[in-house]
Amino acid sequence: MEHQSAVAYGNHYGNGYLGHSLSSDEIGMSFDYIIIHESGHEWFGNSITSRDIADMWIHEGFTCYTESVYVECLYGYEKGQNYINGLKQNIANDHPIIGFYGVGFEGSGDMYPKGALMLNTIRSIINDDAKWWKLLLDYSNKFRHQIIDTETVVAFFNKESGLNLTPVFNQYLRYPAIPVLEIKREKGSIQYRWKADAADFNMPVDVEINKKQVRLQPTTTWKFTETRGIKDFKVLQQKFLIDVMEVE
């Protein structure tokens, strides 16, 4: 566990976490989870600390994300994606990740896996790895040894990415549900839109249309794919934490 000046360790020096893996992907059993997770807290938790425990995702979401960065550094992008997507099994979508301010009330335990997968989603939205890694490094340097809150994180990510990510952060942090991509098949075309709670929710999503990768820009109103005669349509769900629902 993270503490200023020291990290506490308790995993009997075994791989995984107390004999099992938090990820459904087998790679989770190839390293000592607690060594990696708690090391991540030196940056996210100890160096950058949340002002209120309601914003504890600032520790746990980022630190959980560092686990997948570790896997990616050792084994490459695909394995990192498999690891982080294997954490989905732990997401409850029961309560918002942000708790209640001023009363010592932390939010849902989803702050770990869902927080990490939200960051992975934002990486896919930005769609430029050089920019993404620089943003994370700049974030950890800019707020080094500081106490911050959710608004500070969101403002920094908006400024550095040049995007308005506020509705994305709001959906994942302030509502229990994740965005649902609704799709309708009609005469060889696909209609699509987001169903979400956050005001003005929108974000891109990558799909495969007839085996070719295409980036769609759904909003909460229906749009059509430019391609007609679609035989094959697949949403690349490893890159975005979303549900996909076919509607009539």
- Tokens standing for 147? 């106490």
Name the one range near Zn ion by CB under 5 A: 3-11, 24-32, 54-62, 234-242. Answer: 54-62
Q: Which two tokens stand for residue 222?
A: 């229906």
Least spacing, CB of residue 63 vs Zn ion, in Å: 5
Three-state DSSP at 223 gives strand
Percentage helix, strand, coil for the chain under 3-state DSSP, each rounded to 5: 40, 20, 40
Least Å distance, CB 60 to Zn ion, is 5
Closest CA to 242 of 180, 196, 185, 149: 180
Q: How far is the CB of 131 from Zn ion (least distance, A)?
A: 27
The residue among 4 and 217 lying less far from Zn ion, judged by its C-beta, is 4
64 versus 198: smaller Cβ distance to Zn ion: 64
CB 176 within 8 A of CB 111: no
What is the enclosing helix (H) or strand (E) of 157?
A: helix 150-161
Binding residues for Zn ion, total number by CB under 5 A: 2
Segment interacting with Zn ion, rule: CB under 5 A, options 58-66, 87-95, 181-189, 200-208: 58-66
Q: Which stretch binds Zn ion (CB under 5 A): 63-71, 149-157, 167-175, 222-230?
A: 63-71
Full DSSP string of 5-52: TEE---STT-SBBTTB-SSSSGGGGSSBHHHHHHHHTTTBTTTEEESS
Reading the block at residue 157, the tokens are 């990510």
Could you identify the residue written with the tokens 């708690």?
38
Helix (H, G, I), strand (E, B) or coil at 125: helix
- Cβ nearer to Zn ion, comparing 25 with 38: 38
Residue placing its CB nearer to Zn ion in the complex, 136 or 205: 136
For the bound state, the minimum distance from the C-beta of residue 132 to Zn ion, rounded and expressed in Å, comes to 22
How far is it, in rounded angstroms, from Cα 15 to Cα 35? 9
C-beta of 84 vs 198, nearer to Zn ion: 84
Question: Cβ closer to Zn ion: 65 or 240?
Answer: 65
Of 57-65, 77-85, 100-108, 140-148, which part binds Zn ion (CB under 5 A)?
57-65
Binding stretches for Zn ion (CB under 5 A): 60, 63
